[in-house]
Amino acid sequence: MAMEWASEPFGRKPWGARLEDTMADTFYTTRDGSSGEGLLGEIPKPGAERYEDGIRGAGQFKNVQCHGPCWFRWGVNRSGTAFALGEIARRTADLAVTADSDGTTTTINDAAAFVADEEVGNLLFILNAASGAGALPEGEWAIVVKNIAGTLTFQPAMSTAVLDTDTAIVHRLNHLDLLGGAIERYETFGVTIATTVPDNYWGWFLAKGIVTAGTLAGEAFAAGEGLIGAAGGLLDSSASDQDDIMLARAISANTGDLVLDLVPVYFDVMDIALTTT
């Protein structure tokens, strides 16, 4: 199996993780400022140089799960159950925060909002400062480097302290649960590459490339047909207005067994980005 790597933030030395590897969330929560934040990379060809600035070596690679140039994301399972090989993961909802007491330039308090350590590495964005329209730190953002049940600690510091009733959002761009029904591309993170990704573990997910992905039990389709998401896996896109939610295109025909099948598809959810207005 080829090796792929991601780098920790704030100039930390890169570490190696094979595509089938998973890593407990405590690896990050015990390292102030670490996140493994959904970095992308191509599978490098053997001997390709690896760079510490995030550039990946391009090349061809094939194994039982993926083939050719592929792009991957490093994400964490927050679903409460394990992900299996070929299952499709989507991003969990962002977390709305309303400060319930004055914080500082590097902390925000909300006793009801947080699970200890789970927000480390996520993006905190101040939506509204209660002190006045457009008042600072409204519109400022930082990375969560530590959190306890009632407080997030972030860096870099805001220009002014976060105050009681200020509102914010925590962007969880790599916190994942399983495909739960009809899903649009912007929500989709990728296809599970490891045999299993336990709850609260990190792993690699394919975002673009040829991969064997799970299809809905009993679903039959022809080669070349577009596939959309549904609870339990991919299924045939039968309507022409479903292009905006198409996640993959079938490489080969599927006869539709009564169990979930792993079938080769060209999967692509790289074109859509999350935005805040």
Q: List pLDDT tens digits, range 214-228.
A: 887 778 888 888 888
Task: Tell me if 35 sits within 8 A of 119, measured CB to CB.
Answer: no
Exposed/middle/buried for 81, CB within 10 Å: 0-12, 13-18, 19+? exposed
Q: How sure is the predictor about 239, in pLDDT bands with cuts at 50, 70 and 90?
A: low
Measured between alpha carbons, how far is 270 from 231 in angstroms, rounded to an integer?
21
Q: Is the pLDDT of residue 265 over 50?
A: yes
Q: How sure is the predictor about 61, in pLDDT bands with cuts at 50, 70 and 90?
A: very low
Tell which residue, 59, 40, 57, has the closest CA to residue 49.
57
3-state SS, residue 21? coil
Percentages (nearest 5) of helix, strand, coil residues in the chain: 5, 40, 55
Q: How sure is the predictor about 111, in pLDDT bands with cuts at 50, 70 and 90?
A: very high
Measured between alpha carbons, how far is 67 from 208 in angstroms, rounded to an integer?
11
Measured between alpha carbons, how far is 173 from 121 in angstroms, rounded to an integer?
10
- Indicate whether this model's pTM tops 0.85: no
